[in-house]
Amino acid sequence: MKIKHLLCFIALCLFFTPGKAQQLSVMTLRNGATVYIWEDKSKPDVFGMIAFKVGSVDDPEQYTGLAHYLEHVMFKGTQTIDALDWEKEKPIYEKIIAKYDERAALSDPAAREAVDKEINDLTREAAQYAAGNEFSLLVDHMGGQGLNASTGYDQTEYHNSFPPSQLEKWLEIYSERLIDPVFRGFQTELEAVYEEYNMYNDDRGSRMREFIYEQAFGDHPYARPIIGLPEHLKNPQLSKLIDFYNTWYGPQNMSIILVGNIDAKEAIPMIRDKFERVPRRAEIHREKKPVRQFKGRTEKSAKIFYYPMLALIYNGVPSNDKEEIALEICCQLLSNSQKTGILDKLQLDGDIMSVGASQNAMRDAGILMINAIPSFDANQNRWDSHKSVEKIVLSSLRQLQNGEFDEATLEAIKQNLIREYDLQMESNEMKAYILASLFNTGADPSDIVNFKEKVKAVTIDEVKAVAKKYFNDNYLALNIQEAKNLDSKGQKLKKPDYKPIETKKGAKSEYAKWVESIPVNMPEVKYCDFNSIQQKQINTRSKLFYNLNPENDVFTMTLKYGIGTKKMPKLEYAVALMNNAGMLPDIEPLAFKRAMGELNANCTYAVDDNYMYVMMSGYEKDLVKACQLLSKQILFPKLDDKQLQSLIGSAFGSRQMEKSSIGTLESALTSYVLYKDSSDYLQRIPTRDLIDLSITDLTTQFQAATNYECEIYYVGTAPFDDVYQVLSQNLPLKAQEMPSTSPELRPRQQYTENTIFFLPNSKATQSKIYFFIEGKPFDVKDDIFIEAFSSYFGAGFGSLVVDEIREKRAMAYTSYGIVGTPSVAGRNTLFQGFVGTQGDKTLDAIEIYMNLLKDMPSTPERFDVVKTNIKESILSAKPGFRSASAVYEAWKRMGYTQDPAIDKMKKIETLKFEDIIDFYNENIKGKPVVIAIVGNPKDFDTKALEKYGKVVKVSESKLFSDSF
């Protein structure tokens, strides 16, 4: 017996010290489960994850989609969670399993439909013995946030963040869910998954990714969509799902990951106690399947996307391969976040609209991919050909293949990777996902700690060798073409005639009562201190906000100028050009980018309605030089006319595809409904005027924006006075800044009656339905009522909206309803709701949602969960050190004079269920509801919309100032 097998029967702990005040512990439980604990006491919460080494690649060929289905039903409880009377529920559950087996043997649609109705009746009967959605409610009760799960090709993860004081409860319910799970409500969950499939079907980005993987991996399971094939999705067997669980969800195939404010010594005994009771399962023998190997140049074409794109695919390496890091450096030499790569030059020079290289290393195999979007000639109204794009990409690629790069360039790339790694390591969630990936591939845990050293150790000879080995003449060229219209993929299934699944209102299992009674030692409450941010005036109006970086040596700085596109529409294009700018008199864009890269710094520009941003990160040892270089570019930008023509072409190309993008149509319709003539899509620069944009005009626009007052947000390790001295002397801040009136919020359109805006789209699989209700002026004294109402009504798995629309009736994959608060005190709140549902369910979904708004159900038994969730989340929801100063200033603009949590904690103690009802009655009930719908008019009776108010049919041309 090998040593690694012997270790399964004893506890093994390894300790690594990855950074300041942090420690990574790794251990193996007696049943084979692997535990990772990453202590970081600087964080206010803990991110917990259970990761399984199984994904869609492990789906049986005739039952694709099982891994993803299983992820969904793992929230449905066990023989204890959700169980009100398991002994009575069990025989009904077994009948449901048998009925699905019976259904699988039938081919006649009518016979299958009859069995479906029997299953629906049995499911309704079984629901009388189940509490319903109890796992999610238990997470809410402990103050858990972000409860979710995800299925990938190789792994499946379940996760949420929670307060450190709730560790025992989290370990209890996450381990209990693995003991005798019961896949309740399977029928409704099938519908929810198919709605998810419909959502992806309407998204051309998803369709394009599926096409790329299908072509790249051939007969390997990576070629299949993660969600499963459409012919399998509506024909599953519950017994097959149970078999899949029993095969793959054993503890030896599982990792328990805890990252954040946690003490490993205290946690380990609890982890053993909770998770070692999960029974060990049979060893898994996974057969590695062969992956397609490209021979010479192979070409495939498809009309599938919004605009043309070229994808060149090369064989790569699997994750954890010894050449993976060297190959990542190769990709970074081609394109990177600093835009110093060989391919980046093509974009900087205006030869290609966009280009990038990436590596996707998975457990069995990997691919290397170069994506390029051709330039669009606005004068000729045409795209460059795929052939011409491939020619210039391959010409540039030869520089990498021939090793035409030096040590200095390589060192800058390596330092950029290390800086990005340092920034990623500030996130609990990111660290957890990296640990899950290490577990999935069998990598040594020290790899995450020693990553920087591994990057530093890669030599130029190693990079040249792998570049020549993998970026060779054997590749797949995918000519992805623009599709004016794209038909639905797979069979379109009619709306099932199912009756709602009603669970016992307000019922709790004995298990839930016990979990909620587990005593919790409440920690000392630590509030945010506005005074912890050091501030000092620079010039007349500009101000520096400084916060200490407690984790690493990376500084971040944001210059936030008080002007945006609302007052300067052309600033959108000026800022876009600045991201590709050089420096007068003769510094070309790539030379400037590389000069910044040699300082291991990165700079980007951005703009929104109210502000222009200049963002830079790097290491403080080069802060002075980086600021000086940045200042020279801001004062003397070198903008190029060829880049401008490429930018104009990009805008033309983008506007050409607007009407074929469901997402863009949704955005344009909701913007029109809320703001009418002030919609972003109506206020933008007309297409005919884009052609007249000039370098002189855009340079002037950018320079004018820098005349406004500026908020400077700096996070680093150097002393405040030193940073102030450096920035005040080396940033181009004007002595007499213009005053800012930002943020200025657009006034919303006011409605006096229910109004439905319908945008017909004959290609839509789903209807996207939005609900809006104008609110009252925001006052901080109402914040707890807004939060409580949103939590109760539609902000989470346990809310009324999700329960009524998804859990009971499976009408949607995504649904919600919340009250949004403005960024400035005194402006109105806004109720925002959404349902995405199959077209033939549109009227049913609207009916249910409108009934909830008209007469909100009263379930006071849920109030304790709402109250506890808010209280616990208040204690752990704190901004990170990077964003703290900007968040504090945003809070002040909303009317807060101190951490909102201080007063919220006082208000939560006196909060009553009646307060939620009162808020509903005053702000929602009886108020005009505005509905915006993008959907296929062939799927439902559009005249029936008149039941809900005045109907306004909107044409696409009405939503855009001008379009193609």
How confident is the model over 345-378, as pLDDT tens digits? 999 999 999 999 999 999 999 999 999 999 988 8
Query: Does residue 225 have a pLDDT over 90?
Result: yes
Burial of 228 per CB tally in 10 Å (0-12, 13-18, 19+) = buried
Across the range 912-928, mean pLDDT stands at: 98
SS3 46: strand
Give 898-916 as a DSSP string: S-HHHHHHHHHHH--HHHH
**Any idea which of 39-43, 317-321, 378-382, 663-667 has the lowest mean pLDDT?**
378-382
pLDDT value for 566? 94
The C-alpha atoms of residue 304 and residue 660 are separated, in whole angstroms, by 11
737-765, pLDDT tens digit by residue?
Answer: 999 999 999 999 999 999 999 999 998 98
Nearest to residue 258, comparing CAs of 35, 18, 33? 35
Mean pLDDT, residues 431-446: 94
Rounded distance, CA 509 to CA 499, Å? 24
Among 666, 557, 694, residue whose Cα is nearest residue 618 = 557
pLDDT tens for residues 815-826?
A: 999 999 999 999
Is 80 exceeded by the pLDDT of residue 2?
A: no
Percentage above 90 pLDDT, the chain: 83
What distance in Å separates the CA atoms of residue 807 and residue 189, rounded to the nearest whole number? Answer: 8
The pLDDT of residue 449: 85
Residue 325: pLDDT band (50, 70, 90) is: very high
Write the DSSP assignment of 96-124 as a string of letters: HHHHHHHHHT---HHHHHHHHHHHHHHHH
**pTM here?**
0.93
Give the pLDDT mean for 201-209. 88
The pLDDT of residue 88 is 98
Distance separating alpha carbons of residues 179 and 628, to the nearest angstrom: 61
State mean pLDDT over 616-639: 97
pLDDT score, position 653: 86
Place of tokens 């919020």: 745
The confidence score (pLDDT) of residue 711 equals: 98
* Residue 735 pLDDT > 90: no
- Which pLDDT band holds residue 459 (cuts at 50, 70, 90)? very high
Q: Which amino acid is at 825?
A: A
Region of residue 82 (left: phi > 0; alpha: psi -120 to 50; beta: else): left
Q: Mutual orientation of helices 695-705 and 641-656 as an angle, nearest 10°?
A: 90
Counted residue by residue, the chain has a size of: 964
Q: Is the pLDDT assigned to residue 246 strictly greater than 60?
A: yes
Give me the mean pLDDT over the 104-133 stretch.
Answer: 94
- Left (φ > 0), alpha (ψ -120 to 50) or beta: where does 320 sit? left
Quick one: pLDDT band at residue 20, thresholds 50, 70, 90? low
Q: Strand order in 22-28's β-sheet? A: 12-19, 22-28, 34-40, 254-260, 46-52, 156-162, 145-151
Q: Is the pLDDT of residue 810 over 90?
A: no
Q: What are the Cα distances from residue 104, in Å, to 71, 239, 240, 396, 535?
A: 22, 11, 11, 54, 68
Confidence of residue 963 (pLDDT cuts 50, 70, 90): low
Q: Which two tokens stand for residue 780?
A: 């901080």
**pLDDT the model gives residue 21:** 54
Q: Which of 6-15, 62-71, 367-376, 624-633 has the lowest mean pLDDT?
A: 6-15
The CA distance from 919 to 806, in Å, is 25
pLDDT of residue 754: 98
Neighbours of 584 (CB within 10 A): 14
Q: Which of 769, 761, 858, 857 is nearest to 815 (CA)?
A: 769
Closest CA to 798 of 17, 142, 9, 98: 142
pLDDT at 697: 95
Residue 322 has pLDDT above 80, yes or no: yes
Section 624-630 average pLDDT: 98
Higher pLDDT, 10 or 274: 274
Cα separation, 102 vs 115, whole angstroms:
8
Predicted pLDDT of residue 10? 26
Average pLDDT value for the chain: 93
Please report the domains of the chain, with CATH numbers, ordered by start residue: 3-83+130-287 (3.30.830.10), 297-428+437-482 (3.30.830.10), 536-730 (3.30.830.10), 755-948 (3.30.830.10)
User: 298-310 as b/e, with b when 16 or more CB fall inside 10 Å?
Assistant: eebebebbbbbbb
| Alpha carbons 447 and 547: distance in angstroms, whole number | 31
Mean pLDDT across 476-482: 94
Q: Are 55 and 151 in contact (CB under 8 A)?
A: yes
Q: What is the helix, strand, coil percentage profile of the chain, to 5?
A: 45, 20, 35
Nearest to 670 by CA among 660, 658, 679: 679
Question: pLDDT-based confidence at 834, cuts 50/70/90?
Answer: very high
The per-residue pLDDT for 6 is 25
Confidence grade of residue 191 (pLDDT, cut at 50, 70, 90): confident
Among 278-287, 425-434, 842-851, which is the least confidently predicted range? 278-287
What pLDDT score does 19 carry?
54
Position 399 scores a pLDDT of 95
Residue-level pLDDT at 11: 32
Give the pLDDT mean for 251-275: 97
Q: Which backbone phi and psi does 770 adopt, to 5 degrees?
A: -115, 145
pLDDT given for residue 538 in this prediction = 93
- List alpha helices for 75-234, DSSP H: 86-104, 109-126, 134-141, 167-176, 186-201, 204-217, 230-233
Quick one: pLDDT at residue 417? 95
Give the list of residues 6+ apart from residue 919 with CB closer than 8 angstroms, or none. 782, 785, 786, 788, 789
Reported as a pLDDT band with limits 50, 70 and 90, residue 242 is very high
Q: Which of 955, 927, 942 is nearest to 771 (CA)?
A: 927
